[in-house]
């Protein structure tokens, strides 16, 4: 049975589906402006209880970040910033009735927490992000771990720790695939995870697992179908990242198309088999399947909703979409193209929509969204990063590396935090984290 929830009657109702970097920032901005002054009723819907910045998932997977110190509780954030949070996954919408349908939610024991519900809206914003795309390759879903959620990242880390303890404790020699890690997809996530794992595995082994020789027993293999790693970034960034990874003894396999994943490793299209105990799939993206033909809204082959320059969907001006789940035109690009699925794009779109939805409520016309590419930074461990800044990377821009690049990379996360909490709270949290780090292991051990 579906329950109708008449939240916010008498005010303009803005419903945001998806509490990722963009969705949560938009809800916070709108809550602090419209919600606080009772000019609109803001509701955020997400199937999780907490938020983590997705670009940091590789650090959770490697154990270099303690997830519990960085998660944001939606219910508390909503209370502090004058919007409402409701738990559940969107199952569909009714554009004629202006309703969002949300699935029931169960706890880990299968007990019902909430029933199926429907939320009315005057303005609907869809920001459900993206997932990795397995391209229907056999065995990926069953035998590879994808890093789309904190739970998946934590699962990989537990399997990594268990693999090392198992190898240390067993009386027999290592099996051919033991302590072999294959990472499929050499985009930013795959490259960053490779570098983090090199250091975290050696730190883990140093905590008393002396039977493991990290330099001899552990193999990290990064697999990419394209001719080079980081295929969407400039050659100089990819070349420098390659040099650093090779220095870290990461094996890089390019022009290597995967045809299958088994419990024992990765099958390449050439017939070669790469033994692996742990396989991470980090190749390609697609929007959630629920967006395909969402009550007639237009979508593309990877389920992204097609939107106009105003970020309104092409078939309904009352429905907006942004972030990874939207195919939005890049108005200022040299050639006709779509805005890339990056955290900086979602942030800029959230700030833009926060202003434009105030215009919409006041009956004023909406401005088009103009994406500004400030470059890309790729983390290569605790103290290293490479990237290009300020402008169109395809033309070549200011190249940065090392400690300076890593500092700038960290500042991207701080900027996200400031957008959610403000400067003073972020400063205090940073100080607390620094103190906490001095009294805990360098990596998470469970």
pLDDT at 21 over 80: yes
CA–CA distance, 373 with 340 (Å, rounded to integer): 9
CATH code: domain of residue 173: 3.50.50.100
Answer yes or no: is 351 within a domain: yes
List Cα–Cα distances, 318 to 12, 122, 207, 297, in angstroms.
12, 7, 56, 11
Summarize pLDDT for 128-175 with one digit per residue, the tens.
999 999 999 999 999 999 999 999 999 999 999 999 999 999 999 899
Answer yes or no: is 219 within a domain: yes
Answer yes or no: is 440 within a domain: no
101 and 242 together in one domain: no
Note the residue count of the chain.
446
Answer yes or no: is 56 within a domain: yes
Q: What percent of the chain has pLDDT over 90?
A: 67
Q: Structural domain of residue 231, as residue ranges?
A: 134-284
Q: How many domains does the chain have?
A: 2
Answer yes or no: is 409 within a domain: no
185 and 317 together in one domain: no
The two beta strands, 219-223 and 180-184, are parallel
CA–CA distance, 298 with 296 (Å, rounded to integer): 6
Record the tokens describing residue 131, joined without a space: 């997932």
Cβ neighbors of 296 (< 8 A, separation 6 or more) are 95, 315
Summarize pLDDT for 365-421 with one digit per residue, the tens.
999 999 988 878 788 876 666 766 644 444 445 667 666 767 777 777 777 777 787
The label of the residue with tokens 């399997």 reads 159
pLDDT band at 2 (very low <50, low <70, confident <90, very high): low
CA–CA distance, 304 with 436 (Å, rounded to integer): 40
CATH code: domain of residue 118: 3.50.50.60
104 and 116 together in one domain: yes
Contact between 241 and 229 under an 8 Å Cβ cutoff? The reply is: yes
Summarize pLDDT for 407-416 with one digit per residue, the tens.
777 777 777 7
> Which residue, 200, 76, 196, is CA-closest to 147?
196
Answer yes or no: is 141 within a domain: yes
Q: Answer with the residue of higher pLDDT: 294 or 411.
A: 294
Answer yes or no: is 12 within a domain: yes
Other beta carbons less than 10 A from residue 306's beta carbon = 17
Answer yes or no: is 407 within a domain: no
320 and 294 together in one domain: yes
Summarize pLDDT for 61-118 with one digit per residue, the tens.
998 877 777 889 999 999 999 999 999 999 999 999 999 999 999 988 989 999 999 9
Q: What share of the chain is helix, strand, coil (3-state, %, to 5)?
A: 35, 25, 40
pLDDT at 333 over 80: no
Please give the angle made by the CA atoms of 430, 431 and 433, to the nearest 5 degrees: 65
278 and 146 together in one domain: yes
Contact between 83 and 42 under an 8 Å Cβ cutoff? The reply is: yes
251 and 198 together in one domain: yes
Q: Which of 361, 378, 398 is the last residue of a domain?
A: 361
269 and 230 together in one domain: yes
Summarize pLDDT for 184-234 with one digit per residue, the tens.
999 999 999 999 999 899 999 998 888 898 888 999 999 999 999 999 888
Phi-psi group of 161: left, alpha or beta (phi > 0 → left; psi -120 to 50 → alpha; rest → beta): alpha
CA–CA distance, 129 with 134 (Å, rounded to integer): 16
259 and 221 together in one domain: yes
277 and 138 together in one domain: yes
């Amino acid at each position: 049975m579906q329950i109708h929830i008449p939240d916010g009657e008498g005010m303009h109702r803005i419903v945001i589906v998806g509490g990722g970097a963009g969705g949560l920032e938009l809800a916070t901005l709108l809550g602090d402006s419209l919600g606080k002054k009772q000019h609109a009723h803001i509701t955020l819907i997400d199937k999780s209880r907490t938020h983590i910045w997705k670009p940091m998932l590789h650090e959770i997977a490697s154990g270099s970040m303690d997830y519990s110190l960085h998660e944001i509780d939606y219910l508390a954030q909503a209370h502090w910033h004058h919007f409402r949070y409701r738990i559940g996954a969107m199952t569909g919408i009714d554009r004629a009735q202006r309703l969002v349908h949300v699935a029931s939610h169960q706890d880990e024991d299968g007990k019902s927490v909430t029933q199926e519900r429907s939320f009315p809206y005057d303005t609907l914003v869809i920001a459900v992000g993206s997932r990795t795309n397995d391209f229907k390759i056999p065995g990926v879903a069953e035998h590879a771990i994808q890093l789309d959620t904190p739970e998946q990242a934590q699962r990989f880390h537990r399997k990594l720790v268990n693999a090392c303890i198992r190898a240390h404790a067993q009386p027999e020699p290592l099996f051919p695939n033991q302590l072999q890690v294959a990472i499929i997809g050499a985009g930013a996530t795959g490259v960053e995870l490779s570098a983090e794992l090199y250091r975290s595995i050696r730190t883990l082994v140093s905590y008393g697992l002396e039977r493991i020789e990290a330099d001899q027993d552990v193999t990290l293999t990064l697999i990419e179908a394209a001719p080079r790693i980081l295929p969407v970034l400039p050659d100089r960034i990819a070349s420098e990242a390659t040099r650093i990874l090779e220095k870290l003894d990461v094996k890089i396999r390019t022009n290597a198309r995967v045809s299958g994943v088994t419990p024992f490793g990765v099958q390449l299209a050439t017939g070669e088999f790469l033994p692996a105990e742990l396989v991470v799939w980090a190749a390609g993206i697609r929007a959630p399947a629920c967006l395909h033909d969402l009550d007639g809204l237009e979508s593309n082959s990877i389920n992204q909703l097609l939107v106009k320059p105003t970020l309104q969907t092409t078939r309904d001006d009352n429905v907006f979409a942004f972030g990874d789940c939207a195919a939005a035109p890049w108005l200022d690009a040299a050639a006709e193209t779509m805005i890339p699925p990056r955290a900086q794009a979602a942030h800029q779109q959230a700030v833009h929509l926060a202003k434009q939805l105030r215009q919409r409520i006041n009956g004023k016309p909406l401005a088009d969204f103009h994406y500004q590419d400030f470059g890309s930074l790729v983390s290569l461990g605790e103290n290293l990063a490479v990237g290009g800044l300020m402008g169109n990377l395809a033309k070549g821009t200011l190249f940065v590396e090392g400690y300076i690049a890593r500092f700038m990379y960290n500042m991207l996360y701080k900027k996200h935090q400031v957008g959610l909490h403000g400067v003073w709270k972020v400063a205090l949290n940073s100080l607390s984290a620094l103190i906490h780090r001095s009294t805990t292991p360098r990596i998470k051990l469970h």
